[in-house]
């Protein structure tokens, strides 16, 4: 079966895949969720986190086994796996964008900020070099179809988002373009509206899959998400 490497989005960590990893393993796959620098249990100071350090962390995870991996990025993670697709293409079987930002060459997270629905929830701390998310809006933005228990557990673990990676752009070319790409739309997403998701994957064509889910199907429907990923692995 396939090997999956799972990359989380802003404010999150590897913890957000705590339901998806066992669901993939139950289907016979190997799944590794990683903490990006400055996220989750990683001790990197937020000021030292950059897009380059994110991509290097992904490269290290990909290199743990000789078999090329299905590389999944959620939300902000889409920018990271895009650059990883250029920098680490030999270690990647395919790219999977889960309700994720999908930049073209020369674009980055800042390219989509005006279209994102979470802009009003952001609080910048320039001295610390981070961006905080107002937790009072997290349920509506990320978890509106999730259980109360999952929402409470997730919101309690949201951390500050290093600001520097948001100001950096991807540089991609033929190696990224050569990789198979899949986009999993989340049709009820309040954070990255469906219209924006479709605009991005129309500009960079992918094989399309759709879930009737919020921004966080790894909590609201992990089994359905695992079924889609299992089908991708078998394709």
- pLDDT per residue of the chain (235 residues) written in tens, 0 to 9: 999 999 999 999 999 999 999 999 999 999 999 999 999 999 999 999 999 999 999 999 999 999 999 999 999 999 999 999 999 999 999 999 999 999 999 999 999 876 777 888 999 999 999 999 999 999 999 999 999 999 999 999 999 999 999 999 999 999 999 999 999 999 999 999 999 999 999 999 999 999 999 999 999 999 999 999 999 999 9
- How far apart CA 119 and CA 206 sit, in angstroms, is 27
Number of domains, the chain: 1
Q: What is the pTM of this model?
A: 0.97
Q: Which domain holds residue 81?
A: 3-234
Q: What is the pLDDT of residue 166?
A: 94
Q: How far apart are CA 25 and CA 22, in angstroms?
A: 5
pLDDT of residue 115: 72
Q: Residue ranges of the alpha helices (H) in 107-173?
A: 138-142, 148-157
CATH of the domain at 31: 3.40.50.1820
The pair of structure tokens assigned to 205 is: 């064509």
Buried b (16+ CB within 10 A) or exposed e, 171-203: ebeeebeebebbbbbbebbbbbeeebbeebbee
pLDDT at 159: 96
DSSP structural state of residue 217: H
What angle separates helix 77-87 from helix 51-62, to the nearest 10 degrees? Answer: 60
Q: Which residue, 34, 24, 42, is CA-closest to 62? A: 34
């Amino acid at each position: 079966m396939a090997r999956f490497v799972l990359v989380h989005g802003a404010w999150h960590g590897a913890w957000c895949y705590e339901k998806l990893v066992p669901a993939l393993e139950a289907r016979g796959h190997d799944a590794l969720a990683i903490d990006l620098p400055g996220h989750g249990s990683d001790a990197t100071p937020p000021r030292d986190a950059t897009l380059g350090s994110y991509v290097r962390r992904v490269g290290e995870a990909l290199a743990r086994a000789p078999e090329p991996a299905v590389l999944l990025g959620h939300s902000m993670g889409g920018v990271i796996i895009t650059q990883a697709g250029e920098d680490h293409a030999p270690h990647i079987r395919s790219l999977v964008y889960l309700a994720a930002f999908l930049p073209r060459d020369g674009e980055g997270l800042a390219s989509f900020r005006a279209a994102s629905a979470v802009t009003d929830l952001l609080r910048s701390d320039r001295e610390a070099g981070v961006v905080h998310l107002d937790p009072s809006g997290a349920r509506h933005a990320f978890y509106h179809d999730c259980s109360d228990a999952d929402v409470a557990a997730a919101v309690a673990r949201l951390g500050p988002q290093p600001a520097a990676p948001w100001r950096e752009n991807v540089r991609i070319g033929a190696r990224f373009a050569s990789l198979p790409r899949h986009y999993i739309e989340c049709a009820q997403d309040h954070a990255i509206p469906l219209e924006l998701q479709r605009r991005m994957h129309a500009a960079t064509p992918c094989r399309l899959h759709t879930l009737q889910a919020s921004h966080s199907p790894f909590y609201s429907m992990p089994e359905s998400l695992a079924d889609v990923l299992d089908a991708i692995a078998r394709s």
